């Protein structure tokens, strides 16, 4: 950062603070990760200077020789990684990607099904004040009250009743694997387009640890590239060839102008990394770590949503400890563990003051933490939530966490 340091000391100091925070604390927000130095370089590359509205070989500006090469490379790698017929790598992020799919395939007020938001759906899956909830008629499906898993019989019953034009599966806070075959069968029965939003689990699917919705005949798959994929903050849309034209037109010129070519470059690098065997080992370790965490927390008497996890994330109800999600988040933050408060299924409290917390292992696994460290993390988390007002104890845990974290450097950061 020598140029920033020389030119703008104010910004430099802020960046240094964030570097220190990322290095010394334990990042357990399940949607975050640490990208490789190569991805960081691509995001700071000279592709940021370019404008390239349109698609490879069909642009509205000159000088596209190398941009076309990088965009085609990103597309080819994504196709291979997810076994996709068609890929659009231009969406700016996950929410614009989902918006583009709806804009391409639905009409105003068409009926769509998605998981109820406070049970794990994303805001783009029908939040009433979002674009999705305002322009489309979202009908929610639910998890079962006892098992806390998606109730497929209920999904089918609701689908037969409301006849959705499109059904969204794939979530933001659901710790279990998804029954892609079951969802596709329901879509076929009611004539709905099957859409998977794998924003959270794409890295686990690319890393061959979870099943790929395309293998079950899904029509459209969207994903962010910055969560378990461990790439730049962005997204892609993948689909069957028959939806390709509509999707491409909806992204540009339907919703976006020029693509962010430096991010496309970083996506090409991210997909290149994910095609390597090391990435499969990484994805496997993410799950081993989250399962270890679940096992230890269960031993310590925690109440985990669904009792455990199949993927990278866990949800825990804080009610048995007599505290709220927010209090747990604050105490853990004070002790150097970053995660977020979250609703649990059928939460009696609201989304701004929910009963639970959500956390996961993708970032910690990138740093090299494995099962022995996860056992320590479980012990620390348990100590903190059970003694959340004891500042001295929290400070002690913070120091222990810092000492462990400094042994596992963050890629791309040297303090
Ligand atoms: C994160 C996420 C998104 C949106 O991604 P942004 O890049 O934050 O817009 C969409 N869908 C799901 C399921 C997500 O988890």
How does residue 414 score in pLDDT terms, banded at 50, 70 and 90? confident
| 40-274 and 280-405 agree in CATH topology | no
Report pLDDT digits (tens) over 162-195: 999 999 999 999 999 999 999 999 999 999 999 9
What integer pLDDT is reported at residue 351 of this predicted model? 81
The residues assigned a catalytic role are: 51, 53, 197, 224, 227, 233
Domain boundaries, the chain: 40-274, 280-405
What's the pLDDT score for residue 352?
87
Cα-to-centroid distance, 350 and ligand 1 (Å): 21
Which residue lies with its CA nearest to atom 15 of ligand 1?
172
Q: Which of 31, 32, 95, 232 to mutate to test the pocket of ligand 1 (most atoms within 8 A of CB)?
A: 95
Global pTM exceeds 0.95 = yes
C-alpha 121 to ligand 1 mean position (Å): 10
- Give me the count of residues in the chain: 415
Look at residue 412 in the predicted model and tell me its pLDDT.
85
The predicted-structure confidence for 231-279, as pLDDT tens digits, reads as follows 999 999 999 999 999 999 999 999 999 999 999 999 999 999 999 999 9
Q: 40-274 maps to which CATH number?
A: 3.40.640.10
Q: Which fold has domain 280-405?
A: 3.90.1150
Q: What is the pLDDT of residue 328?
A: 98
The reported pLDDT for the residue numbered 84 is 98
User: pLDDT tens-digit profile of 13-71?
Assistant: 999 999 999 999 999 999 999 999 999 999 999 999 999 999 999 999 899 999 999 99
170 lines ligand 1 (CB under 6 A): yes
pLDDT score for 282: 98
Tell me what the mean pLDDT of segment 309-338 comes to: 97
């Amino acid at each position: 950062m020598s140029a920033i340091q020389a030119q703008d000391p104010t910004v430099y100091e802020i960046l240094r603070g964030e570097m220190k925070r990322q290095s010394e604390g334990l990042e357990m927000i399940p949607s975050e990760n640490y990208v490789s130095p190569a991805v960081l370089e691509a995001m700071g590359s000279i592709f940021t200077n370019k404008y390239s509205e349109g698609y490879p070989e069909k642009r509205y500006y000159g000088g596209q020789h190398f941009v076309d090469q990088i965009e085609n490379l990103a597309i080819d790698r994504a196709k291979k990684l997810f076994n996709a017929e068609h890929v659009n790598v231009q969406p700016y992020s996950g929410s614009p990607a989902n918006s583009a799919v709806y804009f391409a395939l639905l009409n105003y007020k068409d009926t769509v099904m998605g998981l109820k938001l406070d049970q794990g759906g994303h805001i783009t899956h029908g939040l009433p004040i979002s674009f999705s909830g305002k322009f489309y008629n979202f009908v929610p499906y639910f998890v079962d009250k006892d098992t806390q898993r998606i109730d497929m019989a209920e999904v089918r019953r609701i689908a037969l009743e409301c006849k959705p034009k499109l059904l969204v599966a794939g979530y933001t806070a659901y710790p279990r694997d998804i029954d892609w075959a079951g969802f596709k069968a329901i879509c076929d029965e009611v004539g709905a387009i099957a859409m998977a939003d794998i924003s959270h689990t794409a890295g686990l699917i690319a890393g061959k640890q979870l099943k790929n919705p395309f293998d079950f005949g899904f029509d459209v798959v969207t994903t962010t590239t910055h969560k378990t994929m461990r790439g730049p903050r962005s997204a892609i849309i993948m689909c069957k060839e028959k939806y390709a034209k509509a999707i491409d037109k909806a992204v540009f010129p339907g919703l976006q102008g020029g693509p962010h070519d430096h991010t496309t470059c970083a996506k090409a690098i991210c997909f290149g990394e994910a095609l390597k065997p090391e990435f499969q080992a990484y994805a496997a370790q993410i799950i081993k770590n989250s399962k270890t965490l679940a096992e230890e927390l269960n031993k310590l008497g925690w109440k985990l949503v669904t009792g455990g996890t199949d993927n990278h994330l866990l949800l825990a109800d804080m009610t048995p400890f007599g505290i709220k999600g927010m209090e747990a988040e604050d105490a853990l933050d004070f002790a150097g563990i970053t995660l977020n408060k979250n609703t649990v299924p059928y939460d009696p409290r609201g989304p701004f003051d929910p009963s639970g917390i959500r956390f996961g292992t993708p970032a910690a696994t990138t740093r090299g933490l494995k099962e022995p460290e996860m056992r320590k993390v479980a012990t620390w988390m348990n100590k903190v939530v059970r003694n959340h007002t004891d500042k001295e104890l929290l400070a002690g845990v913070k120091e222990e966490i810092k000492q462990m974290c400094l042994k596992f450097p963050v890629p791309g950061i040297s303090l």
